[in-house]
Amino acid sequence: MKVALITGITGQDGSYLAELLLEKGYMVHGIKRRSSLFNTDRIDHLYQDPHHPKQRLKLHYGDLTDSMNLTRIIEECQPDEIYNLGAMSHVKVSFDTPEYVGNVDGLGTLRILEAVRLLGLEKKTRIYQASTSELYGGLAENKNERGFYDENSPFYPRSPYGVAKIYGFWITKNYREAYNMFACNGILFNHESPRRGETFVTRKITRATARIALGLQDKVYLGNLDAKRDWGHAKDYVRMMWMILQADKAEDWVIATGKTTTVREFVRMSFAEVGVELEFKGKGVDEKALVKKCNNPEYQIEIGKEVLSVDPSYFRPTEVDLLIGDPTKAKEKLGWVPDYDLKDLVEDMMRSDIKLMKKDQYLKNGGYTTLNYFE
């Protein structure tokens, strides 16, 4: 049985990847942080009975800032594959905690690579490093002749997060070249899902749209509506992480959809899912979105209601204005074909958030339900 170790297993990608590897018959080890509240919501459905003899998911307490802990876990698991997904992954928050981000997202990667090397596992263990499109920084002049970022485009990170991740990128490449390790970077563009953290822009929008439609919230405040992102579905992207480690050769790969969309358009698409047409008025910090039409009898929102304003506190000291990736190499060499496009993604997130918020509304009105009633 193949053995995998996932750092960041409690996160969006870690949870989908654990599902995928369990389906493929792997023994899956995951590192979770000690926290004062339960933090395993996203993987609880995979972890029914820790004492069952056939349980193939095992969690270990740990942290990417603790080398001894990481080395001990890797020695215990003897993994065939390590997926290093653990990170402080919020770009805006990285401006508030730059040193911590350097330690976790940058040096954390080194700790994993060095543990594998010191334990003499460099021939056995393949390593996936969660690199990011934030490395490119959105500089127009660095796109290729076709207008995309690809594996050869120069990097120009624009946040402490991006700078820490660039260390992770290069140290992974260096260990591959210096010690002949099977260590690869997946340079992933933004990927979202119903399990996306609530403070990333897509999930903030789909949650707020659902709550506004159900009368639980009046409006949402966002930052830069002009920012453009290449958004895919996390399920498609974790499949690619696995494919990267099954390749014949260790390399770095761009994973993206090749399309880019503004935050404003994502808002429009989310409201369209509940039958609401929006009109955007004003510019910059004065921009607002108002309800123009409401075509769904289930959600009665008054015409002219203001449902979105800009709050400059969400602006970043330095912004990445535009991301668009070229996944040609992954498609041609590994045969990656994504199942979801942006419309499917928005539908999936909205369906899930409407369900979740209906449960909220029901409970608020004094109803009682078991956790899965609305699933």
One of 78, 199, 318, 369 touching ligand GDD (CB under 6 A): 199
CB 31 within 8 A of CB 9: yes
13 binding partner (options ligand NAP, ligand GDD, none; Cβ < 5 to 8 Å by kind): ligand NAP
Q: Catalytic residue at 156?
A: no
Q: Catalytic residue at 100?
A: no
Q: Is 283 exposed, middle or buried (0-12, 13-18, 19+ CB in 10 A)?
A: exposed
Binding map of ligand NAP across residues 176-195, x = CB under 6 A, - = no contact: ------------x-xx----
201 binding partner (options ligand NAP, ligand GDD, none; Cβ < 5 to 8 Å by kind): ligand GDD
Identity (one letter) of the amino acid at 365? N
Q: Catalytic residue at 16?
A: no
| Ranges assigned E (strand) in 139-237 | 183-188, 191-192, 220-222, 228-229, 232-233
Is 193 a binding residue for ligand GDD by CB under 6 A? The answer is no
Cα gap 28→182, rounded to integer Å: 19
Q: Which range touches ligand GDD (CB under 6 A), out of 142-150, 199-207, 287-295, 362-370?
A: 199-207
Taking CA atoms, 126 is separated from 113, 170, 172, 187, 359, in Å, by 10, 16, 11, 17, 42
Cα gap 58→282, rounded to integer Å: 52
223 binding partner (options ligand NAP, ligand GDD, none; Cβ < 5 to 8 Å by kind): ligand GDD
Nearest CA among 272, 261, 268, 260 for reference residue 287 = 268
Choosing from 19, 81, 134, 273, the catalytic residue is: 134
- Phi and psi at residue 84, in whole multiples of 5°? -90, 85
One of 104, 135, 164, 330 touching ligand NAP (CB under 6 A): 104
Binding map of ligand GDD across residues 280-319, x = CB under 6 A, - = no contact: ----------------------------------x-x--x
Looking at residue 322, what DSSP letter applies?
B
229 binding partner (options ligand GDD, ligand NAP, none; Cβ < 5 to 8 Å by kind): ligand GDD
Cα gap 302→36, rounded to integer Å: 42
One of 18, 21, 57, 88 touching ligand NAP (CB under 6 A): 88
Cα gap 238→170, rounded to integer Å: 21
Choosing from 16, 149, 161, 175, the catalytic residue is: 161
Is 112 a binding residue for ligand NAP by CB under 6 A? The answer is no
Q: Which range touches ligand NAP (CB under 6 A), out of 4-12, 137-145, 175-183, 273-281?
A: 4-12
Q: For binding to ligand NAP (CB under 6 A), which residues are involved?
A: 7-8, 10-14, 31, 33, 35, 39, 63-65, 85-89, 104, 130, 132, 188, 190-191, 197
